[in-house]
């Protein structure tokens, strides 16, 4: 079974982008419809055998967003912000991407959606620093993650200077339990809701759209769940209750603050179960962060959400 994964496999055709905005480079969508993608997800929950992978198994760990892996734009500050800006310098529309490593995992899809339609994207992300304006800790609960608080203030000032027409926010679930004071039970989510709503409001302005992309539900880590005797279903995971509650918390924050929320579960899971591979495309590098290949595969569906303002 493992050998077939190591051999690699077919290459996903380039996915075209749809565009309502007039832009010479924009092309109509040519790719999987949402029902086709959902059918592929459902068929990948428990297939009878391992498929050949588009990305060989021994390369999956480094198959994330090249803007992260190669450009090192997961931690952005005033020193590298100009280098971590993508799209034509002649672009007349500006988008900013804010959040933690989950946010930059979406960047390959966002670039396919926005750049052909005349957008320039400023990446303002920081690892382990989700958007909600709550104080976090990393290793020791008694030591606040002050660098994250400082980064969020810098993001607010950067957005004030850049004056983008679009703000895209995304957060990992990882730091839900790393809130200072270690709230328990429902208080974890109520604090997250309050903090995210406050963050959205701080980045909002007239004629500016703020879109919150939900984090993908997690699946198995291909680096550890694939063995000589494993089956594909061994890398499929159920949607966790904490993830469902986080989605509700983020939806509530978006509703309260006037942002749009994109529920991404239908792009990753079927019947409450989420495979680590869809067709031949590895979904995650590590069970949490998207591969660039799957992010790009989702570009047409992200395009629909951004063009129509679809809410989850």
pLDDT in tens, the chain (312 residues): 222 232 232 222 222 223 334 333 344 335 789 999 999 999 999 998 988 898 888 899 999 999 999 999 999 999 999 999 999 999 999 999 999 999 999 999 999 999 999 999 999 999 999 999 999 999 999 999 999 999 999 999 999 999 999 999 999 999 999 999 999 999 999 999 999 999 999 999 999 999 999 999 999 999 899 888 889 999 999 999 999 999 999 999 999 999 999 999 999 999 999 999 999 999 999 989 999 999 999 999 999 988 876 544
Show the tokens assigned to 262: 């994109």
Asked if 283 and 236 count as a contact pair (C-beta separation under 8 A), the reply is: no
Judge if pTM exceeds 0.85: yes
Taking each helix axis from N to C end, the angle separating 299-308 and 107-114, rounded to the nearest 10 degrees, works out to 60
Residue 239 in tokens = 């949607």
Residues 285 and 63 sit within 8 Å (Cβ to Cβ) = yes
Backbone phi and psi for residue 5, each to the nearest 5 degrees, phi listed first: -70, -40
Strand partners, 282: 277
Give the C-alpha separation, 210 to 258, whole Å. 8
Query: What is the chain's Cα-based Rg?
Result: 19
Q: Are 98 and 155 in contact (CB under 8 A)?
A: yes
Strand pairing of 237-238 and 273-274?
A: antiparallel
φ/ψ bin of 163: left (φ > 0), alpha (ψ from -120 to 50), beta (otherwise): left
Digit-coded pLDDT (tens) for 267-312: 999 999 999 999 999 999 998 999 999 999 999 999 998 887 654 4
* pLDDT tens track for 121-160: 999 999 999 999 999 999 999 999 999 999 999 999 999 9
d(CA 306, CA 40): 23
């Amino acid at each position: 079974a493992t050998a077939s994964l190591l051999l690699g496999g077919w290459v996903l055709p380039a996915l075209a982008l749809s565009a309502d905005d007039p832009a010479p480079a924009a092309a109509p969508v040519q790719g999987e419809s949402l029902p086709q993608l959902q059918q592929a997800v459902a068929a990948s929950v428990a297939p009878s055998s391992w498929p050949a992978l588009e990305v060989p198994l021994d390369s999956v760990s480094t198959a994330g967003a090249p803007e992260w892996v190669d450009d090192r734009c997961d931690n952005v500050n005033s020193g590298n912000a100009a280098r971590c800006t993508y799209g034509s310098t002649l672009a007349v529309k500006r988008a900013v991407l804010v959040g933690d490593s989950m946010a930059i995992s979406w960047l390959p899809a966002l670039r396919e959606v926005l750049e052909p339609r005349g957008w320039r994207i400023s990446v303002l992300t920081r690892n382990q620093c989700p958007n909600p304006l709550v104080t976090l800790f990393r290793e020791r609960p008694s030591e606040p993650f002050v660098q994250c608080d400082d980064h969020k203030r810098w993001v607010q000032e950067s957005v004030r200077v850049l004056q983008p027409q679009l703000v895209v926010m995304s957060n990992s679930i990882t730091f839900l339990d790393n809130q200072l004071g270690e709230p328990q039970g429902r208080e974890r989510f109520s604090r997250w809701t309050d903090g995210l709503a406050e963050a959205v409001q701080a980045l909002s302005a007239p004629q500016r759209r703020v879109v919150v992309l939900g984090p993908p539900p997690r699946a198995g880590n291909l680096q550890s769940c694939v063995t000589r005797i494993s089956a594909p279903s061994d890398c499929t995971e159920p949607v966790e209750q904490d993830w469902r509650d986080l989605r509700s918390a983020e939806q509530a924050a978006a509703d309260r603050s006037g942002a749009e929320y994109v529920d991404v579960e239908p792009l990753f899971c079927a019947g409450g179960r989420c495979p680590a591979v869809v067709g031949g495309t590895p979904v995650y590098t590590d069970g949490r962060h998207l591969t660039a290949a799957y992010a790009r595969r989702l570009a047409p569906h992200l395009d629909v959400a951004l063009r129509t303002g679809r809410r989850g």
